[in-house]
Amino acid sequence: MALFRQNDHPLVATPNSSESWRAWLASRSETFFLYARQQTRCQSDAEDVLQEALFESWRRAGGLPPDNALVFATIRRRAMDLARGNDRRTRREGDAGAVEPLFVVDYTASDTRLQLVECVQKLPEHLREVLVLKLWGDLTFPEIAQITGVPVNTASSRYRYALEQLRGALSNSF
Amino acid sequence: MSPYDPLENELRSLRPGPLPDGLRQRLASPPEMASEIESAPHWQWWTALASAAAAVVFTLFFQGGSPSISARPLASSRSERFIDARSLGFVDDGSRRAWELVELEFLDEETLVSTNGTLAMQTQTVRRQIVPVELHFD
């Protein structure tokens, strides 16, 4: 039984080859980083968590591109471990740190699009987490439910609620 | 939500921000696998042990001394103790069955007892084992 579902990836799977590692990162790393930033208090924490999580997931998959759900779950667990270990000083630094945009901002884009980026960043964490896992992580609701530790119906309703909040904030442009 | 929902389509078209250069460099090559990490210390450990044994033999042989062994190890005992379990995450096996990966931690103890009943040596090793546990959502 294969425990880890390999991604549908156009790679010749040679365990732990630099080529497959780089190709995998090129296709997924920005989405993983987006999720890591959400789960941590500052960008440097997100970088540490992401590096550890990617290495761990890669090793657990035997040196092959691991399942996306496994990587997201590992990022989440690593971020929670870090948060438990963080002292109050780190927390203050994180709160005071500049907030980099989560998405590539094209300032020539329409106002609605810029507003959409802003609204996504302002969503409550638990709603934004589901939105990111669903839209950019390409996960199913059962996978999201497993990662976030909530029932499938809750994951699904959080996603709908996030979209409703965005629609409301954008004055029903969509 | 419909796959043609314009809001979802607009959201999907947003591109997550790029990785910072520093992180990109840290991720330039794949991590060493566990077997690669373990192999070096193992090899070094055996080399050190063999060198030490050779040094003892050399010293005894050329100095004419003989070791004074008052009690030879006779019996050994092993024990295994469960310490901890923690969840590593969740996976599915491609047939929509969900599994939780649980890491179990054990403490292995090996004790050597000499002829006079005194404890000669005790080693403790922490051993980890990952087991898949199938999840049911009834």
Q: Does A34 touch chain B (CB under 8 A)?
A: yes
Write the pLDDT tens digit of every residue in A13-32: 567 788 889 899 998 899 99
The pLDDT value given to residue B100: 85
3-state secondary structure of B135: coil
The pLDDT value given to residue A110: 75
Portion 7-36 of B in contact with A at CB < 8 A: 7-8, 10-12, 14-20, 22-23, 26-27, 29-31, 33-34
Segment among A34-38, B33-37, B98-102 with least mean pLDDT: B33-37
Q: Does A161 touch chain B (CB under 8 A)?
A: no
The pLDDT value given to residue B43: 59
Ordered DSSP codes for B68-124:
--S--EEEEEEEEEEEEEEEEEEEE-SSS-EEEEEEEEEEEEEEEEETTS-EEEEEE
- In whole angstroms, give the CA distance from residue A95 to residue A93: 5
Residues of chain A contacting B23 with CB distance shorter than 8 Å: 33, 47, 50-51
- Closest residue by Cα to residue B79 from B49, B117, B111, B104: B111
Portion 51-110 of A in contact with B at CB < 8 A: 51, 54-55, 58-60, 62-63, 67, 69-70, 73-74, 77, 100-104
Q: In what helix (H) or strand (E) does residue B129 lie, and over which residues does it extend?
A: strand B119-134
